[in-house]
């Protein structure tokens, strides 16, 4: 337990630094050796980049092992926190993200971007909005010392809903934004990046639960956690390497994309956290609920954007900017939640 806690502490403490260094490395390598990234970009099948797929699987799989579907039986014990998360994730967040994307890129920023590119940026934001966080949920929850078992319940139910709702909801929102949706590719992405790792995690956990030692799952996740971190960092390097020239040539565009993403993140957190406070939800449930509702499953959003629109598309760029925005925003919200913990002191 000590080794894992130390490793987790190191990862948490310097998370922004690691991601920042990988962003810089990705952009630098993308400019210095573009041929390597072009070769990697060519390694795809059925519009799915194979290298990115491997790194995403490596990143997601350890987190999926942590999902305990047996914990679903405990849903009824604290329904308020789960209600906050699910309402925000599925009834509010996707639609506010689509609305903000359309408002900024088809109205406010219309003079700075061409209409075709604007639609792709909106599409990337929509994909971020309909992909609730899975992989990083446990990190944010641990940072605020949330109820770990309840976080597992929230993640488990979110994953089940996502298997069935992600593709239809994404297709609906992309459709009303006048973007043609290739359903086959969208469904394939859900199968590859949600169903397969979720099934693999479930099978692994079931096998480990049958082991002689009760802490088998804990020991296994501690061993594979470094691979998850490496998968995250390698994915960041690749994504920013693919978009390096655009980032260097058009830094203002990155800032424009970041504006609605920042408004969405802080706005959704304020809504969820405020609702939980007014509803008298205990802090160890309220904080993770708000953070889960705020953060994105950017791994899935990036993968689907690449599959649907291509590695060098505006949609892929928007999801990559989502990665850039996500970590510092979430860490700032973690700090805010920890700083306001005292306001929840009377919650039972």
The pLDDT of residue 5 is 46
Q: What pLDDT is stored for residue 180 in this prediction? A: 60
Angle at 119 between CA 118 and CA 125, to 5 degrees: 90
The least confident of 7-16, 98-107, 330-339 is 7-16
Q: Who's near 174: CB < 8 A, 6+ residues apart?
A: 123, 126, 181
Whole-model pTM? 0.74
| 20 has a pLDDT exceeding 50 | yes
**Per-residue pLDDT at 154 exceeds 90:** no
pLDDT bin (cut points 50, 70, 90) of residue 87 is: very high
- Ranges of beta strands (E only) in the chain are 44-45, 48-49
CA distances to 91, 161, 271 from 137, rounded to whole Å, are 19, 16, 18
Q: What is the pLDDT of residue 10?
A: 63
Residue 7: per-residue pLDDT: 46
What DSSP state is assigned to residue 68? -
Higher pLDDT, 227 or 319: 319
Q: What is the pLDDT of residue 71?
A: 65
Which of residues 217 and 2 earns the better pLDDT score? 217
pLDDT score, position 1:
39
Residue 244 confidence (pLDDT):
85
Q: What is the DSSP string of 85-96?
A: HHHIIIIIHHHH
| pLDDT greater than 60 at residue 348 | no
Per-residue pLDDT, 74: 63
Question: Does residue 6 surpass a pLDDT of 50?
Answer: no
Q: Is 54 helix (H, G, I), strand (E, B) or coil?
A: helix
Q: Residue 183: pLDDT above 70?
A: no
Which tens digits make up the pLDDT trace of 93-130? Answer: 999 999 999 999 989 988 888 888 899 999 999 999 98
Q: What is the mean pLDDT of residues 29-49?
A: 84
**Rg, the chain, Cα only:** 19
At 211 the pLDDT is: 61
pLDDT at 60 exceeding the cut of 80:
no
User: For residue 13, what pLDDT is reported?
Assistant: 64
pLDDT of residue 189: 66
- Model pLDDT, residue 178: 62
Residue 92 or 77, more confident: 92
Q: In the predicted model, what is the mean pLDDT of the chain?
A: 81
130: helix, strand or coil = coil
Report residue 75's pLDDT band, with 50, 70 and 90 as the boundaries.
low
Determine the Cα–Cα distance for residues 40 and 342; give it in Å rounded to an integer: 49
Query: Residue 29: which pLDDT band, with cuts at 50, 70 and 90?
Result: very high
Domains recognised in the chain with CATH numbers: 2-339 (1.20.1530.20)
More confident residue, 299 or 161: 161
């Amino acid at each position: 337990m000590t080794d894992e806690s130390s490793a987790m502490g190191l990862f948490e403490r310097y998370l922004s630094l690691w991601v920042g260094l990988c962003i810089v490395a990705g952009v630098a390598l993308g400019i210095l050796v573009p041929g390597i990234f072009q070769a990697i970009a060519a390694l795809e099948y059925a519009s799915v980049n194979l290298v990115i797929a491997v790194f995403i699987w490596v990143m997601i799989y350890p987190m999926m092992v942590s999902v305990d579907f047996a914990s679903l039986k405990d849903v009824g014990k604290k329904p308020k926190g789960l209600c906050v998360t699910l309402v925000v994730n599925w009834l509010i967040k996707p639609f506010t993200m689509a609305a903000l994307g359309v408002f900024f890129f088809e109205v406010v920023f219309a003079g700075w971007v061409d209409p075709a590119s604007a639609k792709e940026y909106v599409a990337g934001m929509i994909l971020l909005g309909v992909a609730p966080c899975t992989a990083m949920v446990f990190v944010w929850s641990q940072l605020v010392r949330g109820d770990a078992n309840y976080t597992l319940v929230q993640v488990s139910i979110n994953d089940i809903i996502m298997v069935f709702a992600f593709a239809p909801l994404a297709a609906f929102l992309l459709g009303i934004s006048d973007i043609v949706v290739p359903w086959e590719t969208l469904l394939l992405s859900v199968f590859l990046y949600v169903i397969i790792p979720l099934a693999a995690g479930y099978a692994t956990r079931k096998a480990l639960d049958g082991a002689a030692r009760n802490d088998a799952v804990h020991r296994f996740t501690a061993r594979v956690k470094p691979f998850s971190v490496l998968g995250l960092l390698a994915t960041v390097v690749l994504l920013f390497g693919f978009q390096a020239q655009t980032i260097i040539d058009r830094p203002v565009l990155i800032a424009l994309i970041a504006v609605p993403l920042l408004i969405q993140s802080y706005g959704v957190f304020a809504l969820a956290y405020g609702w939980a406070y007014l509803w008298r939800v205990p802090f160890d449930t309220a904080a993770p609920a708000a953070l889960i509702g705020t953060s994105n499953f950017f791994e899935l959003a990036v993968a689907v954007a690449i599959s649907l629109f291509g590695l060098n598309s505006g949609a892929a760029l928007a999801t990559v900017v989502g990665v850039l925005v996500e970590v510092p925003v979430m860490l700032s919200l973690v700090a805010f939640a920890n700083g306001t913990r005292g306001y929840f002191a009377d919650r039972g």
